[in-house]
Homo-oligomer: A and B are copies of this chain.
Amino acid sequence: MLSFENDYAEGAHPQVLQALVDTNLSQQPGYGADDFSQSAAAKIREVCRTPDADIFFLAGGTQTNAFVIGSLLRPWEGVLSAETGHVNVHEAGAVEYTGHKVLALPQADGKLSAETVRSYLAAFWADPNHSHMVFPGMVYLSHPTEYGTLYTKGELQAIHGVCQEYHIPLFLDGARLGYGIAADPTLGFAEIAASTDVFYIGGTKCGALCGEALVFPQGAPDHIDTLVKQRGALLAKGRLCGVQFDALFTDDLYTRICGGAVQLAMEVQRGLLDRGYPLLIQSPTNQQFVVLDNDTLAALSQEIRVCIWEPVDETHTAVRIAVSWATRREAVQQLFQVLDKLRH
């Protein structure tokens, strides 16, 4: 059955897979010291315009989030996150497992505002009892957010400014970064690298079989290798991520394939609106959120798989329709055909 359930239903982009085939028997050192990882890192430094960046390749998003938060925070610190942030809700307590608290903040459309962050930090430091509280030691945000929304360049810079004022790092979770950059190129790799302290470029949902490229724009702290090993996140065949990211960052493959997906997602959005289905949220990226009456949802689900997001009221449900680099225009047309059929 055709699926729009998520953006990780297929394998890798064919060019990524071909790169794995082409390099397969080249003997390489392990643990990320291979030529391909080095080459991929160099290309990422180039697009980020950060010649001193340190780059590590990890296998998945939750792993990367927990690693960054758990290894950069100091023992008395927690991480600020939107209450809807992936680290706060859908990672089974991976951050707390590292011993640190997620300090959840109010959000709008999945986004934090600089003002919210500043208020929290100001109130914390003004509290005479703050030495008995968890110190806010990092800001986490996702871009695109869990709702497909995006920060503007100005919004990101404003949050980064607050972080710098309070001397805490800003960490951007870019599990779907390619779709974000394709949708708004004014907040591209270089701008993100300039306005964060650490971020990652998602591979798993953007063309790779697995892998996230963790970027420290101004260089990483010492001993990251050992900590990656300790947390079970070090692949013996580091080449697996290296080869894939090397291919994704050759000839702009990464942003090109994500751009195609965003274009299709906009067609999905327009098609839904044209047919009178209201959006739950206005997402400019590859995830679209639409409200369906439950009868339509039930009938649709007979033919096409979508993701149940949340109940809206007793007779309506919000649904996520995820487009990816692998989605073909024919699939979108089929979606509309089914919807049109249901309306008659």
Contacts and interface: CB of A to CB of B under 8 A. Distances in A.
A47 interface: no
A60 B76 CA distance: 20
Contact of A61 (B64, B93, B236, B243): B236
Range for the number of chain A residues in contact with chain B: 35 or more
B92 A133 contact: yes
Contact of A92 (B2, B92, B132): B132
A106 interface: no
Given A60-B236, A62-B229, A74-B223, A101 B96 contact: yes
A308 B126 CA distance: 12
A78 interface: yes
A25 B59 CA distance: 20
A344 to B, nearest CB: 27
A21 B17 contact: yes
A8 interface: yes
Most buried by B among A232, A235, A243: A232
A157 interface: no
A305 to B, nearest CB: 8
A226 B74 CA distance: 12
Most buried by B among A24, A89, A205: A24
Contact of A93 (B66, B134, B308): B134
Contacts of A28: 9-10
Contacts of A12: 20, 24
A199 to B, nearest CB: 18
A42 interface: no
A237 interface: yes
A294 interface: no
Contacts of A2: 27
A246 to B, nearest CB: 13
A259 B132 CA distance: 29
23 contacts: A10-B26, A11-B20, A11-B240, A17-B24, A62-B234, A67-B232, A76-B93, A76-B226, A89-B133, A91-B230, A92-B226, A92-B227, A94-B229, A94-B230, A96-B101, A96-B134, A104-B104, A131-B229, A135-B223, A135-B226, A204-B235, A210-B235, A232-B233
Interface of A: 2-3, 5-6, 8-12, 14, 17, 20-21, 23-30, 59-64, 66-67, 71, 74-76, 78, 89-94, 96-102, 104, 128-129, 131-135, 204-205, 209-210, 223, 225-227, 229-237, 239-240, 243, 308, 326
